Chain A
Amino acid sequence: QKEVEQNSGPLSVPEGAIASLNCTYSDRGSQSFFWYRQYSGKSPELIMSIYSNGDKEDGRFTAQLNKASQYVSLLIRDSQPSDSATYLCADYSGNTPLVFGKGTRLSVIA
């Protein structure tokens, strides 16, 4: 059974710093990875998707994928208090269910 592991945190960073969130996955054959942000009481919202080894940048967010190490990370530059949320890493293969990590709680301190 697929597993996705994340450090539950909380991860506290000062405003303006870089927040680094990490995730490992068990299925070596997995192809697609996603980072979701979830505010308390809300549904997850997709921030980044990554399918190839290397880095993918979108604004203040950079996703990194290393398939050899089965490792996915999300960097948030210039962290803002509004970035405080739980970040979920997910593994997806076609029409099979998204497999989520437990999420990392990020707190950005002003």
Chain B
Amino acid sequence: GAVVSQHPSWVICKSGTSVKIECRSLDFQATTMFWYRQFPKQSLMLMATSNEGSKATYEQGVEKDKFLINHASLTLSTLTVTSAHPEDSSFYICSAAGQGATEAFFGQGTRLTVV
């Protein structure tokens, strides 16, 4: 399958700071990227969908000014958690799909801990 690389794998930051997570498609052009969040013992919850060159579409309850998503190229999308708080501590996972693709491929995930 196609490769999606997510970086960093884990990050610890202080409350009030911002953290950027990168998601790269290494061997295909990702026209659409999905960002998910997963709290312990819970399922993956979609946060937002981004199409290359367009503004992201956020799910209800997800603050777009807090979770900034940029999808400026066909191989890179970034999620920036601004002014992070301990309740933002979670496992963040990106998933990417090419045009007309029948499946989406996951990055390795980023474990964010805000202290």
Contact = CB atoms under 8 A, between A and B. Distances in A.
Interface of A: 32, 34, 41-46, 49, 51, 88, 92, 94-103
B interface residue count range (under 10 / 10 to 19 / 20 to 34 / 35 or more): 20 to 34
Nearest to B102: A32
Main secondary structure of the interface of A (DSSP, over half): loop
Contacts, number: 54
A76 to B, nearest CB: 20
Given A32-B103, A49-B102, 6 more contacts: A32-B102, A42-B109, A44-B106, A95-B31, A95-B51, A103-B43
Interface of B: 1, 6, 31-32, 34, 42-44, 46, 49, 51, 91, 93, 95, 97, 99-109, 111
13 contacts: A41-B109, A41-B111, A43-B93, A43-B108, A44-B106, A46-B105, A46-B106, A49-B102, A88-B43, A92-B102, A95-B101, A97-B34, A97-B46
Contact of B100 (A42, A94, A98, A99): A94
A55 B111 CA distance: 36
